[in-house]
Chains A and B, each alone.
Chain A
């Protein structure tokens, strides 16, 4: 009989660990309700696992003692909603994340778009702090066609969009970005594209001349343009399948026929309602092509 370790290790239990607030699904509903009713943002179809963890994180960051306190704060302090949005949405991103994806965009997707178009439209849906926009602009610059691109970058979170617009990245992230860029096999070194100032890498602003930034909620927003390429990578993973279907319908409506949709490398359209309106162009990088209206 294997002895349970219970007795032996009891003495090693930590002293009075900080009490953690347990967030339950009913609590999430209370929060989504107040955010929806008071501010018009709808988080009710966000994926439970990550949404619950984000709420847990907010409770810890701001030292709330209960979910009830978060609800009260949201009800009484309208300035808190921006902070709430900033923390509840995930803004961890990298330049040239998945370098093989960016090589595929450079070597196949953009050349294919250029076969039929002189100028083209790109939408970064859920652009966060803008690293993918920077990657795209560098990529197009190196192809010599940056001036042919109209790029729209949108995000639900206004402060993060303002950050994206600034075109700066913390220098401490540039190590990783550089490693990605090297694997992308760009033409220069990444230092070619920025100047360092006060701990920030200031990306060459001329790269972003053709980019417009817009505050846009993928859940509630209406289709506003047609695109040749939409990047929506690692955005819909925070939604449940119901919401993924709705957003994908919107993305589908925002694409020209035979144009491209790129999602994250571990996202799949297989289970989605619009699946039959797309074909997969590159399964490894999860790049799809719209084939039916």
Chain B
């Protein structure tokens, strides 16, 4: 019996997080099959001046390689993409990424709101947004956009978060479809993957 009501209309999964989300992200990435059907786009708060190391740290713990896309790089089915340091990562027309050095948002660059909002603009209701543990409200408005455009919103169960501000901020501005612990987020994604097999 299926726990979730999922179909195979989705085009991408976007995951945001900051303080305390690293473990959750690596747990999710390590649990996914190598041939996971959708692109996964990660926007995690990170040190502005440290360009290297994060991609590698995530890749080691992931079942699939994690890459920081270059500007206008294509979004490939099954790719795992990470917003590079000191750039906003946006989803562009033509199934590609755009980077930007625009002003910081919520004191962050990359800002989760930018990635979530632009992804939902392009993918509309065919997007799944997941927001994990974090120490500020970045991502809340992005989640609202996803919901307003008909996509699916998931936040990490606040009691499980190291810092719950990020998920609770999202919960206070929009409807969240699923409030889940990381283990259940993984179940969700595995079930989602099954829809495409």
Contacts and interface: CB of A to CB of B under 8 A. Distances in A.
Interface of A: 1-2, 4-6, 9-10, 12-14, 17, 47-50, 52-54, 90, 92-93, 97-100, 179-180, 183, 234, 236-238, 240-241, 244, 264-268, 270-271
Given A47-B92, A49-B90, A98-B51, A264 B71 contact: yes
A90 B100 contact: yes
Nearest to B68: A266
Residue of A48, A52, A240, A267 contacting most chain B CB atoms (<10 Å): A48
A162 to B, nearest CB: 21
Contacts of A237: 71, 98-101
Interface of B: 3-4, 49, 51, 68-73, 84, 86-87, 90-94, 98-103, 114, 118, 121-122, 171-180, 184
A5 B173 CA distance: 13
B42 to A, nearest CB: 15
Contact of A93 (B100, B101, B176, B184): B101
A53 B122 CA distance: 13
A2 B184 contact: yes
B179 A183 contact: no
Contacts of A52: 121
Nearest to A1: B3
B105 to A, nearest CB: 10
Given A180-B49, A244-B72, A9 B171 contact: yes
Contacts of B51: 98, 100, 265
19 contacts: A2-B4, A4-B177, A9-B175, A9-B176, A12-B171, A14-B173, A47-B72, A47-B92, A47-B98, A48-B92, A48-B98, A49-B118, A53-B100, A93-B101, A237-B99, A237-B100, A265-B51, A267-B99, A268-B70
A98 B48 CA distance: 10
Contacts of A180: 49
9 smallest beta-carbon distances between A and B, as pairs = A49-B90, A268-B70, A237-B71, A47-B98, A49-B98, A49-B118, A50-B100, A12-B172, A49-B92
Nearest to A179: B49
A98 B70 CA distance: 16
B171 A5 contact: yes
Nearest to A234: B101
A50 B175 contact: no
B162 to A, nearest CB: 21
A28 B110 CA distance: 24
Contacts of A271: 72-73
Contacts of A50: 90, 98, 100, 102
B110 to A, nearest CB: 11
A266 B99 contact: yes
B101 A90 contact: yes
Contacts of B175: 5-6, 9-10
A71 B98 CA distance: 26
Nearest to A7: B175
A93 B4 CA distance: 45
Most chain A Cβ neighbours within 10 Å, of B101, B102, B179, B180: B101
